[in-house]
Structure 1
Amino acid sequence: MSDESPRRASRIILLDERDRILLMNGFEPDDPATTWWFTPGGGLEAGETWEEAARRELAEETGITEVELGPVLWRRTCSFPFDGRRWDQEECYYLARTGQRPVWTGGGTELERRSVTGLRWWTCEELLATHETVYPTKLAGLLRTLLDEGPPRTPVLLETERA
């Protein structure tokens, strides 16, 4: 993969038995007051499939290994500044369900240890009502549609987000 190629990242829409979604709380390492919530997941390693990355990242970030990984719900591209550089990323969002309780592991990387504070289950109503920053930015509406209508027949291509 060349330097110009976007990073490929698997993300997980992890729901518990009460249809709450698990999100991680992160911040800009150089500005801890700039915070946001985001789904578990991360970059594919060499030779890894999207699904393998989703399972590995979930285990590394939450300790959850007992998961029913479902279909790919959404795909998107995004570009954002973080930790002194611009990240261009292609993302694939998997639906997953678990009854296992998460544990903030501190993350698998040094950067995660410097920029993530923990985990929280959110109801759809809480997401719809929050004024906190959540990525992807339309996650509350996407989750509402998912819970009301079920997974799409084929992955939905989300709008490109650029921060």
Structure 2
Amino acid sequence: MASTYSFDVVSDFDRQELVNTIDQTVRDIKNRYDLKDTKTSLELGEETITISTNSDFTLDAIQKLLREKAAKRNLSQKIFEFGEIETASGNRVRQEVLLKRGISKDNAKKISKLIRDEFKNVQTSIQGDIVRVTAKNKDELQGVIQRLKQEELPIVLQFTNYR
């Protein structure tokens, strides 16, 4: 009887690290001389961050600060999708930052096709926003993980439920 091994390919981020990133960014904004009096606010929602500030220049500085703090907390830059800059009341600007989580159907198909083309003894199945990879040999699965780490995808990947 041959047993099979599997793992899941997912795209997610640590929500607590993101909360800490936002807190650090807000603290820095309050302490920095050039940003102190801008009345900037960062609001973390379920799937977005809303940045509200007084100018495009300040918004650019806050984006850099947010990216920097996220990188220090090992959050991938790929989770941020900066939206359109909107003008708000009182000569202010607002921007929604979409937080990307989960693997889209197109990316899941790309991942599955890549694995099928390069690894003949490995099966994939798309289950919602997860790609399950199964094989009879653990070494094949290790090879798949190494190959996916080399691939340049617009999302960050993690490998979970390895069994």
Q: TM-score, normalised by structure 2?
A: 0.27
Which structure has greater helix proportion? 2
Higher relative contact order (CA 8 A, sep 6+): 2
Q: TM-score, normalised by structure 1?
A: 0.27
